[in-house]
Structure 1
Amino acid sequence: MERKSLKKIGLSVGTDKIRHHGYHRYYTTFLEHLRDMDFAMLEIGIERGGSLKMWSEYFSRAEIYGIDINKGFQHPRGIVFKGDQSDLDLLNEVNENIEKEVRFIIDDGSHHPEHQLRTFNYLFGNMLSNGGIYILEDTETSYWSDGRLYKNKIRRGLKHPESIVEITKSLISLVRDKWLPVERCL
């Protein structure tokens, strides 16, 4: 039996990750190798649950955890914790309640650059396994000089030093210099 692609699964469950954003064009490159592995993943921002269903079908053996500001619940393969992604006590609680190795984290939460940075700093350093994958969606809000989203004011803008985009640009250089000697880049 042929396995469904991420695109087919996403379209069947109605997630905007496929229908609106077209992320399937990129995600399979980085996630396909995890498909049959036994691990845990965490998604921040569940909304109507379409992507939770997509990940549950795509990763047949994974435990699927989530964080959502509006609702918390248990499902057959994990827990969705209710709370604000920028709350370090909540992130610590989530970390303490996931026993398996976390190989994949995806942030589709508040889209607020400050929250994205706080969440990344905690989860990347405390939860994500070595070699794990961290995907940060909706970084375009870092370019907003005066905006509002989900009741949060966003005042960043191009080249703002606290923009998640600018901060991750500097991280790319750090990672490259640490794990890929300059001689290998030439």
Structure 2
Amino acid sequence: MKIDVQLSELALANAELVATGQQIDRALRRAVRVTATTIRREMVVQPIMARTGLRRKSVNQRLALKFDKAGKGGGAANILGGTHVARIVPSAKGIRVTEFRRYEVQAITRTRARILIPWVDGGKKVVAGFVNPSGGKLKPMRTRSRNKPLPYPRTALAPSIASMVKAMYDSQFVADAGARLEAQFELEIAKEMA
């Protein structure tokens, strides 16, 4: 007995699966990119600006948005083994106090005053520096240097954007971000399949 099997239907089904996989991959990539950009702007940058008085440019410069694709491969293979990843990477470098729109000075002695900046939790944070209240300019100056004393005064540094972002993160933040990604993916997949 002889049985002839034609694989044209199987090849067609495989081609459709790959095409569908590519559509899903494109939708997922767009959803991750749009959601990451939105989260960075609405859930990180705007709250930091509102709570601390930092300018948008200062915050944006210190929050890098990086996109990766793990498990590189096209079509259906990427659905099974690869994911699109977006990371918001905050800078760990201190911020000059002069970049804040407002900061508070508390006198300790005639020549030393503590500098306080508004913090993301609604309180205040002490800066690594001081102001000379008897001076004419009331310029915030740095109190320390890494190796040896600096030949000239440097501007005082406030905590970094990384510490601000860390103070803002909680389980609700992660849940909101996940819900936004899910909604955006559903929107993108509907557009792609239409």
Does the alignment reach a TM-score above 0.5? no
Taking structure 1 as the reference length, what is the TM-score of the superposition?
Answer: 0.23
